[in-house]
Amino acid sequence: MDTDEWEDRVAALWADETVDDEQRIERMTALAAAAPHPALGEFELGGAHDSGGREAEAHVHYAAAAEAGLDAADPDRAARLVVQHASTLRNLGRVDEAITMLRDAPAHPATGAAPRVFLALALHSAGRPAEALRVALEAVEPTLPRYHRSVRAYAAALTEG
């Protein structure tokens, strides 16, 4: 199958709300084996496990996707990998790793403010609610139609000494 067909099948599987988590993992396993690049298959298989609540398995596939060169094979998926993998690490109790990964996440159109939002969740999980709220406010501030200066000031005040 060519790349376009593979991409269409992956998108169709994600869009199909009639399949349960186990079916999605099973079908994604077959699609991953036919992926045009191993990193693409590992990423999508990680996502299937992740959405099915199998974080430990998702972590293995996400790490394999990065190792297989997802950043070169598909920069959009690589940006999404940071968010998804860090979220998985947070769910596995590896909060400090998640925080580091999200703090280091480069800005990318495929993820928008998602790295900052997931960083806020990780900070909250780490017991740092004021810092989490600050990060969340700073993530949403650019999208506000007004009140930018006020929101920035309130956000800064949350973590000032």
Q: Please indicate, yes or no, if residue 43 is contained in any of the structural domains.
A: yes
Q: Do residues 122 and 95 touch, judged by C-beta distance below 8 A? A: yes
Q: Please indicate, yes or no, if residue 156 is contained in any of the structural domains.
A: no
Q: Domain residues for 26?
A: 3-94
- What span, in angstroms and rounded, lies between the C-alpha atoms of 117 and 76? 18
Q: Please indicate, yes or no, if residue 104 is contained in any of the structural domains.
A: no
Q: Do residues 155 and 138 touch, judged by C-beta distance below 8 A? A: yes
98-126 residue pLDDT tens: 999 999 999 999 999 999 999 999 999 99
Q: Do residues 24 and 48 touch, judged by C-beta distance below 8 A? A: yes
Per-residue pLDDT band at 31 (split at 50, 70, 90): very high
132-151 residue pLDDT tens: 999 999 999 999 999 999 99
Phi and psi, residue 105, nearest 5°: -65, 125
Q: Can you give the pTM of this predicted structure?
A: 0.93
Q: Please indicate, yes or no, if residue 74 is contained in any of the structural domains.
A: yes
Q: Please indicate, yes or no, if residue 30 is contained in any of the structural domains.
A: yes
Indicate the number of domains in the chain: 1
The CATH number of the domain holding residue 28 is: 1.25.40
Q: Please indicate, yes or no, if residue 36 is contained in any of the structural domains.
A: yes
- What span, in angstroms and rounded, lies between the C-alpha atoms of 133 and 128? 9
Burial of 93 (0-12, 13-18, 19+ CB in 10 A): exposed
